Amino acid sequence: MATLRTALVTGASAGIGREIVRQLVQDRGMTVLATARRLDRLEDLAADLPPGKVIPCAGDLADPGFREQLWSRAEGLEGGLDLLVNNAGFGEYHDFAEQDIETIRDIFEINVMALMDLTQRAIRHMRPRGSGQILQISSNLGFVGLPYSSAYVATKHAVNGLVKSLRYELQGTGVRIWAACPGRTVSEFSRVAMGDGGVKGPLPSGARTDRVARAIVRGIDGRKTFLLTNFLAWAPVAFAKILPGPFDLIMTRWAPKHFRAEIDRARFGG
């Protein structure tokens, strides 16, 4: 397997993306082009790591013009780009029938369209070189459904379908495409997903971000197409596959009330 020296990581200002940048630099000595909307956070991250190892590039991935600019910088990295990590993404907890269509469009633009755009560019860059990796940060929700997260779940099914298909297209090219599929993780995701009303009660708990990132970074040396990062990520997917009837019964009878109550506690307190 070719040595990976450079990476582009999207959504690098917080959560899993930030930890992946940190671990790629500290554990593997890589140079990382890190992008997110918040320049101050990217600069803080760069300041915490060895000089020159993190290159901040702030902008909105929903803007095709910014993606063009970002990719030009990625191709300009010394030796070219070895690893693309499509981590940027967001969701909104909402009754789908009442969800604003523009919000749904925004979710798809970041979670699917920006990801596909950068993936296309990476393939065109890596395939002639005969090496490279494209890592999609997906979710275990790319395999199962979840009430009040329909738009987000749909995007993750799309990402997983893309990975399955491109794996065949890239066979024998030296370019590996794969997806890391975490479960619920302690990050800003849930806070953002609660919407403009803010968070007044306890947020849903989850796995530690650094441990999830550690599993993902270790997966770079593996061969899996889909990496379920821990037991909490693996268990519902395995349950749905092995016992689809009982899984569907639980999700039909228990899950809607449970997740509705969990969202309401976070939004309204109590």
pLDDT per position as a tens digit, 175-185: 999 999 999 98
HEC assignment per residue over 107-161? HHHHHHHHHHHHHHHHHHHHHHHCCEEEEEECCHHHCCCCCCCHHHHHHHHHHHH
In the predicted model, is pLDDT for residue 269 greater than 70? no
CB neighbours (10 Å) of residue 80?
15
Residue 148 annotated as catalytic: no
In the predicted model, is pLDDT for residue 2 greater than 80? no
d(CA 261, CA 186): 19
Kindly state the average pLDDT of the residues 218-225. Answer: 97
Burial class (CB in 10 A: 0-12, 13-18, 19+), 215: middle
| Mean pLDDT (the chain, rounded) | 93
d(CA 68, CA 89): 18
Reported as a pLDDT band with limits 50, 70 and 90, residue 201 is very low
Task: Give the CATH class of 6-268.
Answer: alpha beta
d(CA 1, CA 191): 39
In the predicted model, is pLDDT for residue 199 greater than 60? no
pTM: 0.92
Assign 86 to helix, strand or coil.
strand
Stretch (H or E) spanning 41: helix 39-48
Instruction: Select the more confidently predicted residue: 259 or 242.
Output: 242
Kindly state the average pLDDT of the residues 57-66. Answer: 98
Q: Output the pLDDT for position 258.
A: 86
Percent of the chain at pLDDT above 90? 84
- Least confident range of 35-49, 223-237, 253-267: 253-267
Half-sphere exposure of 82 (CA within 13 A, CB side): 15
Instruction: Select the more confidently predicted residue: 158 or 186.
Output: 158
Assign 244 to helix, strand or coil.
helix
Q: Phi first, then psi: give them for residue 78, nearest 5 degrees.
A: -60, 120
Structure tokens at 201: 């009660």
d(CA 270, CA 267): 9
Stretch (H or E) spanning 179: strand 175-181
Reported as a pLDDT band with limits 50, 70 and 90, residue 206 is confident
Q: Output the pLDDT for position 196.
A: 55
Q: Give the residue from 84, 73, 76 showing the smallest Cα distance to 131.
A: 84
* Pairing mode, strands 83-86 and 132-137: parallel
- Encode pLDDT of 82-97 as tens digits: 999 999 999 999 999 9
Angstrom distances, CA of residue 68 to CA of 117, 231, 232: 9, 38, 37
Percent of the chain at pLDDT above 70? 91
Do 34 and 21 contact (CB within 8 A), yes or no? yes
d(CA 93, CA 106): 14
